[in-house]
Structure 1
Amino acid sequence: MEQRYLGHSGLRVSRMGLGTMTWGRDTDADEAAAQLLAFTEAGGTFVDTADVYVEGESERILGGLLGEVVPRDQVVVATKAVARRNDGPFGGGASRGALLSALDGSLRRLGVEHIDLWQLHAWDAAVPLEETLSALDAAVASGKVRYVGVSNYSGWQLGTAAALPGHVRIVSTQVEYSLLERGVEREVAPAAAHHGIGLLSWAPLGRGVLTGKYRNGTPSDSRGASAHFAGYVEQHRTERAARIVQAVATAADGLGTSPLSVALAWVRDRPGVVAPIVGARDTGQLLGSLAAEALTLPPAIRAALDDVSAVEFGYPERRLG
């Protein structure tokens, strides 16, 4: 699998990442081990988790597999903080105390001495940005973190954080980005390009909708049928989405491949994108995503998909001339 530099940094990651949001809930430890092995055997190196995924169980499972299933030094471990909320003075958010406490918790659950990419999971308006960034500085200076990134930041939030002088460089921003969700192209992507920040795409398959599995209803074994993911999937089951899904299916038929591969290849090769992050319930689903590595979309098909999914630009981000 091709390796790409993450933003203007020396960190290289595979151009597809392995997401672990369901590890510990829909994916048990044995299945997670099989996924991690299949991913790394295909050349994948980038594994993404968060301290809130299944209340920390995702980190625990990943930590138990490092060194047992794959060598620690062959995996770029990425995790996140900010979203965890507990009672007490250091219970969550982006304060210095909460972040450094969260970092220690992630290190314990992962069983590692350092995290390769530590990401702020969300913007915290209650905490001064200088304080939040000072925690990132301390984490890197301590050797517990190698690189830092953010997630779910708007364009102005990303630009403000990246431009504040005297702090460690932000190398990545993780955002929802797919043929069904192109809003980041208005301001987030331009801000990232300006500051040399790499885009990591979560939900690159439109929360599963772009695979076409929901075209004729909701499969009983799908995320859309589960109590904890039904609302998550429903957001992208619209008339506009149906038109895009049809276009993806038509492209897949013409190329002799799957809608999944078409959707992944489209977002993987968008300007500024370093890697889409794919999650899977089982290894079979993951292997379907890994098959996209061999696909490069012909220009005519890419242009058709761009057109049917085009995002609306307006003032002030409208492109002129």
Structure 2
Amino acid sequence: MRYRELGSSGLEVSEIALGSWMFFDDDTDLEANRAVTEAALDAGITLFDTANIYGNGAAELAWGEILSRHPRDSYLLATKVWGAMPETGRGLSAPKIAQQIDASLTRLRTDHVDLYQAHRFDPEVPIEETITALQRVVEQGKARHLGFSEWTPEQIRAAIDLAGPELFASSQPQYSMLWQAPEAELFGLCAENDIAQIVWSPLAQGMLTGKYRPGTPPPEGSRRVDAQGSRAMTAIFDETVALAAVDRLAPIADGAGLDLTTLALAWVLRRGEVAAAIVGASRPEQVWANTAASGVELSPDVLAAVDDALGDAPVTTPTLAPGAVEGVRRG
């Protein structure tokens, strides 16, 4: 495993991070979650990313049980706030942030998180209130650093204008071979302000693993079998175009001596702006397969071949990911 600096935070994070959105849920076997988490620690993963909304707190509860058995300085813990929780509803008002950080810490069985992220922007709350509330979380020692996910350039600039570029250590956008939208504006703006990228869905919700084929039913147990997972994919990608592009990528991966998963993750990590790529896993062997991409460098010839194979399939223009909103409210 290789490690990269997380913006201006002074932290080093593993190039591959483990996310909890995929396998932590109310009815998921805790022991299966434990096996995946322990495999991640054994593989050198140090960054564990979750959110209060995942399973309405179930993800945080699970990692509170599992990770609290390890020394607190042996891993970095990131969680998020904004999503609708039963006790507070949704948003980034000062009272909600104050309540939700305490609830997250209780579930996670820790007195602080290393990274506290605004899961989305809240245009219904004055940005001054949100930023002040997030800064208070750091001042109280409940979070070491702050980040955001899926904010627009306007929203990022508004926050920086208020509190300076040192406010945020990280940005968490969707980014993959098929979703290249962050390259258009976000990466450059964040790099100018020393804000690193921790990207989600680097495998395009499994489409870049090669397990889905054009005109073929999805494998049993895969996300596309689940109605919600299938809707999420088709809302983002033109499935026919995307799967055809993935078919064209397969021989490129073979020629480079890689599988598709490794090629896709290495492609994401080729960008210096990316500190880590968040992956999900339901089995330990998936963790090991994903971490194999750390340190893999793709040659210029391979990168050129990837561009040709992708063709017009990727989203390349500035585009909001699901749940993201435009606009800034000022007090």
* TM-score normalised per structure 2: 0.88
Structure 1: distance between partners of 2:128 and 2:165: 9
1:148 aligns with one of 136, 146, 149: 146
Partner residue, 1:127: 125
Partner residue, 1:319: none
Structure 2: distance between partners of 1:126 and 1:142: 25
Structure 1 counterpart of 2:239, one-letter code = T
Structure 2: distance between partners of 1:155 and 1:168: 16
Gaps of 5+ in 2: 319-331
For the pair 1:49 / 2:50, whether they are aligned, the reply is yes
Structure 1 counterpart of 2:185, one-letter code = E
3-state secondary structure, aligned to 1:149: strand
The CA deviation string for residues 234-259 of structure 1, in whole angstroms up to 9 with x for no partner, is 33352331243123212211122210
2:158 aligns with one of 157, 160, 178: 160
- Could you say if the C-alpha distance between residues 292 and 105 of structure 1 is closer, same or farther in structure 2, counting changes exceeding 3 Å? same
Structure 1: distance between partners of 2:253 and 2:29: 32
Partner residue, 1:282: 283
Partner residue, 2:174: 176
Structure 2 counterpart of 1:72, one-letter code = R
- Could you say if the C-alpha distance between residues 62 and 206 of structure 1 is closer, same or farther in structure 2, counting changes exceeding 3 Å? same
Structure 1: distance between partners of 2:211 and 2:159: 39
The CA deviation string for residues 50-102 of structure 1, in whole angstroms up to 9 with x for no partner, is 0000111000000001232x322111000000112446xx4330001101101
Partner residue, 1:318: none
| CA apart distance, 1:189 | 1.2
| CA apart distance, 1:154 | 1.6
Structure 2 counterpart of 1:18, one-letter code = L
- Could you say if the C-alpha distance between residues 36 and 97 of structure 1 is closer, same or farther in structure 2, counting changes exceeding 3 Å? same
- Could you say if the C-alpha distance between residues 271 and 306 of structure 1 is closer, same or farther in structure 2, counting changes exceeding 3 Å? farther
For the pair 1:236 / 2:234, whether they are aligned, the reply is no
3-state secondary structure, aligned to 2:298: coil
Partner residue, 2:188: 190
Structure 2: distance between partners of 1:167 and 1:141: 17
Structure 2: distance between partners of 1:166 and 1:261: 37
**1:154–1:187 CA contact under 8 A, matched in 2:** no
Structure 1: distance between partners of 2:221 and 2:14: 29
Q: Any residues of structure 2 matched to 1:78-89 within 5 Å, and which?
A: 78-86=78-86
Partner residue, 1:252: 253
Q: Any residues of structure 2 matched to 1:1-321 within 5 Å, and which?
A: 1-21=1-21, 22-25=23-26, 27-68=28-69, 70-86=70-86, 90-165=88-163, 169-215=167-213, 216-234=216-234, 235-307=236-308, 308=310, 312=316
- Could you say if the C-alpha distance between residues 285 and 312 of structure 1 is closer, same or farther in structure 2, counting changes exceeding 3 Å? closer
Structure 1: distance between partners of 2:225 and 2:196: 33
| CA apart distance, 1:311 | 5.4
**2:63–2:108 CA contact under 8 A, matched in 1:** yes
Greater alpha carbon shift after TM alignment, 226-235 vs 76-85: 226-235
Greater alpha carbon shift after TM alignment, 113-122 vs 231-240: 231-240
Identity rate of aligned residues, in percent? Answer: 37
Structure 1 counterpart of 2:162, one-letter code = L
Structure 1: distance between partners of 2:209 and 2:233: 12
Structure 2: distance between partners of 1:40 and 1:159: 36
Gaps of 5+ in 1: 315-321
Structure 2 counterpart of 1:45, one-letter code = T
- Could you say if the C-alpha distance between residues 107 and 141 of structure 1 is closer, same or farther in structure 2, counting changes exceeding 3 Å? same
Structure 2: distance between partners of 1:31 and 1:220: 19
* TM-score normalised per structure 1: 0.91
Structure 2: distance between partners of 1:179 and 1:232: 17
- Could you say if the C-alpha distance between residues 113 and 71 of structure 1 is closer, same or farther in structure 2, counting changes exceeding 3 Å? same
3-state secondary structure, aligned to 2:304: helix
Greater alpha carbon shift after TM alignment, 136-145 vs 277-286: 277-286
Two-structure CA RMSD over aligned residues (Å): 1.9
Structure 1 counterpart of 2:133, one-letter code = A
Structure 1: distance between partners of 2:94 and 2:129: 6
Stretches of 4+ moved more than 6 A in 1?
none
| CA apart distance, 1:144 | 0.7
